[in-house]
Amino acid sequence: MKKVAYLILSMLLTSVKVSGQERLTNLPTYYLETYDGLDITSRTDYKWGSLTIVDDAGTRFIDSLRIRGRGNSSWLNMKTDKKPYRLKFNTKTRLLGQPYASAKNWVLLANADDKSLIRNALSQALGKWIGLPYNPPMQPVDLYINNEYYGTYDVSDKIDVRKRRVNVEEQELMVRDDTTNITGGYLLEVDGFKDTDATYFSTLNGVNIRIHSPEPDSIVERQISYISEHVQKFEDCLYEDPVGDFRTYVDTTTMLQWYLASEITANLDALWSIYIYKQKDDPRLYWGPLWDFDIAYNNTTRAGDVSQSLMADVGFGKSVGKKWVLRLWEDGWWKNAVKNHYEKIYNNGLTEFMINAIDSMATNIRTSADRNFERWDINKRVYEELELFNSYEEYTECLKTFVRKHNDYLLEAFENRAPTPPTAAFTADTAYYYRLVTRGDASYVMDVVDQNSTEGAQVCLYENLPSHDTQKWIIRQIGNRFMFINAVNGLALSDYNNSEPYSYSLVLYQPDEQDNRQLWEMVAVGREGFYNIYNTSTGRIIDIRHATYKNGTEIISYTPSSKDSLFSNRLWLPDKDELIHHKDSADADSTITPTDSTSTGILANQALIYALRYAPTAKTLRIIANDRTLLDFDIHIYSLQGRRVKTFRASDECSVAELPSGIYIVNWVTGGTGHSAKLKIE
C-alpha cells in the first residue's frame, strides 16, 4: 500500500531509556513536567515546565517552556481529563524537524472524542492532496504529563504567520507613518466565538472577523480600517443582485479547495470558523488553512447522520461563514465551479486516496491506540460521538464506510445543484416514442379523442395513462421542422384552419411531408425542456382550450402572441417514452430488431418479445411483453459509481421514486446475453 504523506518521524519499536523515561511505542514519546508538579487546569494561565522527547534520534531535553490548556468545546465541554494543550517555548524551536516550521508556539491535540484518533490528520492530508498551500502537520505522539500517561496526541502547528506556516509578510512594528504599505499580510478568521482579548470587526451583514495578524498589541487603527474595508468590498460584491464579481477579491482556487475539503470531510464546524489570509499588494483573500475536525466525518449527535447531506445545508455557523456560503450557492459560476472541480478530484482517485490514508495512519498508530484505550474507555461517549464501538477496527471501518458513501453522494449533490442550462433546440430521437406533456399540469398529455384511429380524429388532453397507446407520438424531423405521427393510427397532427380567427381543433390526417399544415416549429423556452409549437402553414400555436386541465379538453391551434412563452397551456414537454420496435424482415415471426438492441432486451429466435419502459411521471420501470409468464429474470439498477441500488423481478413493476435524481444503468441477463439501458431520473 502506498504510504500517505502523514508526518511519521519513527516507525521503529525500539526503546530508549534515559533517566527512567522510555519510548512507549513506535511513535515519539513526549514527557511534560510542570515545575510545581501540579496539573494544567487553565487555558488562559501558563505553567512553567520542561519537555523530554524520546524518538529515533535519541533523547532531547528542553528545560524551560510554558504550558496551558487550549480549545473551546474540547477544553470546556468534554467529559474527560484528556485535554488539548498549548506549548510556548522561550525561543523558536523546530519541534518537528525539517521541513517544518521553527516557532515558539505549538499545540497538542487530544482527539478525545475522535476514537479513530486520525480525523485531524486525515483532513490535513486531504488538504495537501487537493492542493491547499499550507496544511498543518500532524505528528502522532505518546504523551505523559508529570509521569502520568495521557494517551495518543497529535503535535501540530499553531495557526500563525511565519515561514512554513501561513507564509505572508509580517507587519508587526512596521507601520511607521501614513506612507507605510499596509496591504498585507493579514491572517483573519471568520469566527463564531468572540474572544474578548482579540481584535475583531464585523461586516455589514454581521459576519464577525477576527484579526490574528497583526496581533492586538501591535496593530494600529489604519490597518484595521484597511482590512475591514477590503473584506467589505468582497461582501458587497457577493450580495449584489445578481451576485457581483466577488472573484476580484478572492483567490478562487483556494476558496474552492477549502470549500470542497469542508464538504468532503463533512465538517459541521467548517462554516463556524474559517481562516483567511491576504498577501501584500495582492487584492485577493486566500482561504485556509483547514483546522479542527474532531466532529467531522459523522462524529456528532447534533446533526445525526450527515452522509447524505451538504454542510452548506446542515453545517453550523448560520450567523457567520455560512451566510457567505449560502450566498455563493446562489451564483451560477460557483455552482458550476464546485461541480466541475469536485468531479475532477473524484475521478482523480479521491476515495482511494482517503481509504489508503486511513489504513496507513491507523496502522502507524495502532500500538499507541491500543495503549490509549487502556487508559480511556473506547466505548464511552465523552462529547457528542454519534456511534460507539468496542474495538478500534470498528471505528476505522466506520470511517471508511462514511468516506465511500459521502464521496459518492457529493458527486450527485453537486450535479443536482449545477445550474440547469437553457432548453436546447429540439432534436428528435427516432428510436423512441414521445409523450407530449403540458406545462400547466404534468399529469396530462396529448391524446386522441376516444382513442379514435380514423382519419380526421381530433386530439385532446387526457391524464397520462400507460394503457393509452394513443398518447405515444413519433416525432419525425423534416429539415428544421417536425411532424407528430400517432403511434396507434400512424396519422399526422395537422392544423387545417383556413379562416377561424382564434381557435381551431387540431386533427389527424395521412402523413404528407410536403404539407406545411402537418409541419411544426418547436421554439425552446426557459430551462425546463418545454417548447412553444407553431404550425408552419398557419403560424398558429398549439394551445389547450380555456386552459382547462381535465380529460377530453380540446387541443387547438390559437392565434400566437408575444407572451406565448409565459402561458403554461402553450408549453409542451416532449417526454421520451419506450423504444420504437420495428419488425425484422429476416425473421419477422420471432425477432424484433430495435434501433439500439443493446438497450432494449429484445431476444432473437425466442418466443419472448419485450421492451423496458420507464414512466417518468409515475417514476416506474416495467417490462412490456407478449408473454409475461416468460419474465422470469432479475433486473438490476446501478449508480454511475457501480453501486447496485435496486433489484426487481422482470414480471413486476418497479418504483424508483425513492432514488435521487441522476443517471443510472439498468442491467439484466436473458438467454445468456447481457443487456443494459441508461435511465435518467429527474
Q: Do 517 and 614 belong together in one domain? A: no
| Distance separating alpha carbons of residues 656 and 647, to the nearest angstrom | 11
Domain assignment present for 612: yes
Type and span of the H or E element at 47? strand 47-55
Q: Which residue has the cell 499580510?
A: 185
The residue among 354, 463, 453 whose CA lies nearest residue 405 is 354
| Contacts of the segment 597-603: beta carbons below 8 A, 24+ positions apart | 598/675, 598/676, 599/675, 599/676, 599/677, 599/678, 600/675, 600/677, 601/668, 601/670, 601/675, 601/677, 603/670, 603/671, 603/673
Backbone angles phi, psi at 678, to 5 degrees: -90, 135
Q: Which residue has the cell 418466443?
A: 607
Confidence (pLDDT) at 71: 83
What mean pLDDT do residues 49-75 have?
Answer: 93
Domain encompassing residue 453: 432-577
DSSP-assigned beta bridge partners for residue 92? none
Q: Do 646 and 545 belong together in one domain? A: no
Q: Which of 577, 612, 639 is the last residue of a domain?
A: 577
Domain assignment present for 334: no
Is residue 86 within 8 Å of 107, Cβ to Cβ?
yes
What mean pLDDT do residues 6-14 have?
Answer: 34
Domain assignment present for 26: no
Q: Do 498 and 560 belong together in one domain? A: yes
Q: Which residue has the cell 533523547?
A: 59
Domain assignment present for 355: no
**Cβ contacts of residue 210 below 8 Å, gap of 6+?**
188, 189, 191, 194, 195, 198, 199, 200
Domain assignment present for 260: no
| Ramachandran sector of residue 456 (left: φ over 0; alpha: ψ -120 to 50; beta: rest) | left
pLDDT band at 241 (very low <50, low <70, confident <90, very high): confident
CATH number at residue 605: 2.60.40.3080
Confidence (pLDDT) at 623: 82
Q: Could you report the per-residue pLDDT of 90-113, keeping only the tens digit for each?
A: 999 999 999 999 999 999 999 999
Q: Do 568 and 466 belong together in one domain? A: yes
Q: Do 541 and 604 belong together in one domain? A: no
Q: Could you report the per-residue pLDDT of 281-301, keeping only the tens digit for each?
A: 999 999 999 999 999 999 999
Residue 627 pLDDT > 80: no
DSSP secondary structure letter of residue 166: B
**Cβ contacts of residue 498 below 8 Å, gap of 6+?**
none
Q: Could you report the per-residue pLDDT of 127-163, keeping only the tens digit for each?
A: 999 999 999 999 999 999 999 999 999 999 999 999 9
Is residue 86 within 8 Å of 72, Cβ to Cβ?
no
Note the pTM of the prediction, 2 decimals. Answer: 0.67
Please tell me the least confidently modeled range out of 7-16, 332-341, 434-443, 544-553.
7-16
Q: Do 533 and 552 belong together in one domain? A: yes
Domain assignment present for 372: no
Q: Do 669 and 595 belong together in one domain? A: yes
For 316, the grid coordinates are: 453550523
| Distance separating alpha carbons of residues 555 and 460, to the nearest angstrom | 5
The string of DSSP letters for 310-366 reads: -HHHH-S-TTTHHHHHHHHTT-HHHHHHHHHHHHHHHHTTHHHHHHHHHHHHHHHHH
Q: Do 618 and 668 belong together in one domain? A: yes
Confidence (pLDDT) at 503: 78
- The whole-chain average pLDDT of the chain stands at 88
Domain assignment present for 487: yes
Q: Do 612 and 507 belong together in one domain? A: no
Is residue 61 within 8 Å of 16, Cβ to Cβ?
no
What mean pLDDT do residues 507-528 have?
Answer: 94
The number of domains in the chain is 2
Q: Do 505 and 529 belong together in one domain? A: yes
Q: Do 441 and 554 belong together in one domain? A: yes
User: Which residue did the predictor score with more confidence, 659 or 484?
Assistant: 484
Which amino acid would we find at residue 237? C
Q: Do 477 and 498 belong together in one domain? A: yes
Confidence (pLDDT) at 76: 78
User: Which residue did the predictor score with more confidence, 86 or 637?
Assistant: 86
| Distance separating alpha carbons of residues 243 and 247, to the nearest angstrom | 10
Confidence (pLDDT) at 499: 65
Confidence (pLDDT) at 619: 87
For 495, the grid coordinates are: 392544423
Domain assignment present for 360: no
Q: Which of 535, 552, 577 is the last residue of a domain?
A: 577
Q: What percent of the chain has pLDDT over 90?
A: 70
Q: Could you report the per-residue pLDDT of 291-340, keeping only the tens digit for each?
A: 999 999 999 999 999 999 999 999 999 889 999 999 999 999 999 999 99
Q: Which of 536, 562, 577 is the last residue of a domain?
A: 577
Which amino acid would we find at residue 489? N
